[in-house]
Homo-oligomer: A and B are copies of this chain.
Amino acid sequence: MATKTAKPEAVSLPLNEILAGDCIEVMRGLPAGSVDLIFADPPYNLQLRGELHRPDNSRVDAVDDHWDQFASFAAYDRFTRDWLAEAQRILKPNGAIWVIGSYHNIFRVGAALQDQGFWILNDVVWRKANPMPNFRGKRLTNAHETLIWASRSEGAKYTFNYEALKALNEGVQMRSDWVLPICTGSERLKDAAGDKAHPTQKPESLLHRVLVATTNPGDVVLDPFFGTGTTGAVARMLGRSFIGIEREEGYRRIAAERIARVRPYDRSALEITTSKRAEPRVPFGTLVERGMLRPGEVLVSPRGQTAKVRADGTLAADRMTGSIHQVGAHYEGAPSCNGWTYWHFKREGKMVPIDLLRQQIRAEMDRPQAH
């Protein structure tokens, strides 16, 4: 949890540390292909920071005419493309990124992500349960922020814990709109004067959902705009490693203290609901080899179609032979068919899906074995 300066020549990953400095420069010192996930909450105020420059590098003092507006957009785009390029380099090939923003900056970030070759997986709306009203009544209450979830490149095998998110949502597929409260109360960090320590502290519930959805325990999560360390705090709770980058000394100190106070959850509590896809593949032929089904035995479909088991683990139907899936698809006239749930066999007068036999084999495989 120490705060230290990144060494550009470092090759090993500085895990669970908050690195001091400009995020682009610090990222240049991190090794390529080393991080599983990036969560980024970049600055989006185009005027306040005074760090934006025109293409000729002159400072933008005031954004009050069309040219300055364009110049500041261009400068913001350059900044965005620079940090995204480093982010992409640091990510593992199958890594992914989340970026959060509002209408001031998110469209520019999204276009930059696409131009850079990131592949957008979802845009997610954080619907704030208790937003600040629009006091002047001149616009709609700005009641949401937008997150973009993108893989490093098209075709990457990104992490998505589908069943865990479905469980989080009471058994119904998680949607792209998330209703969560803003960060208030005791969760909101205060400075010595009792004022809020950071203007845009994100709620831990938001990071909880992001990290449960798209990382596994032990993964490395990088946050290049660390602020007061919400990403690090939730990563630690959830048994993930983090790397934080933050320029402001004050934020680094608050974040380090905050994270030191975090008590990680029990390992057993971090196990999540997994999908069938993660289970080992069992060839149908194994059932025949083990004598659970005899060659010559007849399987029956829900609609009464029949097929005969052969010694090599294929099925023989009237006019064709093939795998349990192929014969099922043939009978249904369907593009595909899950033969495990389609075919049934008779035991004690009842029709039982052959998937039950697969489950028995998997249960045997799950028993602890000598090592």
Interface residues of A (CB under 8 A from B): 53, 57, 66, 69-70, 73, 102-104, 106-111, 113-115, 117, 120-125, 127, 129-131, 133-134, 137-144, 146, 148-149, 153-154, 160-162, 164-165, 167-171, 173-177, 179-181, 187, 203-205, 208-209, 212-213, 237-238, 265-266, 268-273, 275, 281, 283-286, 288-291, 294-296, 308-314, 316, 321, 323, 332, 334-337, 364-365, 367
Contact = CB atoms under 8 A, between A and B. Distances in A.
Given A130-B364, A134-B173, A271-B321, 6 more contacts: A110-B110, A125-B144, A140-B176, A144-B176, A164-B312, A270-B311
27 contacts: A53-B335, A66-B117, A70-B115, A70-B117, A103-B120, A106-B110, A107-B109, A108-B111, A140-B175, A141-B173, A141-B176, A143-B175, A144-B175, A167-B312, A167-B323, A177-B177, A179-B365, A180-B290, A203-B290, A205-B289, A205-B290, A205-B291, A209-B289, A269-B309, A270-B295, A272-B311, A273-B314
A281 B129 contact: no
Top 4 A-B pairs, shortest CB-CB distance: A107-B110, A168-B285, A269-B295, A143-B175
A364 B313 contact: no
A134 to B, nearest CB: 6
B140 A53 contact: no
Contacts of A238: 311
Contacts of A70: 115, 117
Given A268-B308, A285-B170, A323-B170, A140 B124 contact: yes
B312 A170 contact: no
Contact of A173 (B137, B164, B309): B137
A281 to B, nearest CB: 7
A310 B127 contact: no
A361 to B, nearest CB: 8
A99 to B, nearest CB: 11
A269 B315 CA distance: 9
Contacts of A364: 129-130, 181
B127 A312 contact: no
Contacts of A332: 57
A308 B269 contact: yes
B108 A335 contact: no
Contacts of A173: 133-134, 137, 140-141
A40 B160 CA distance: 34
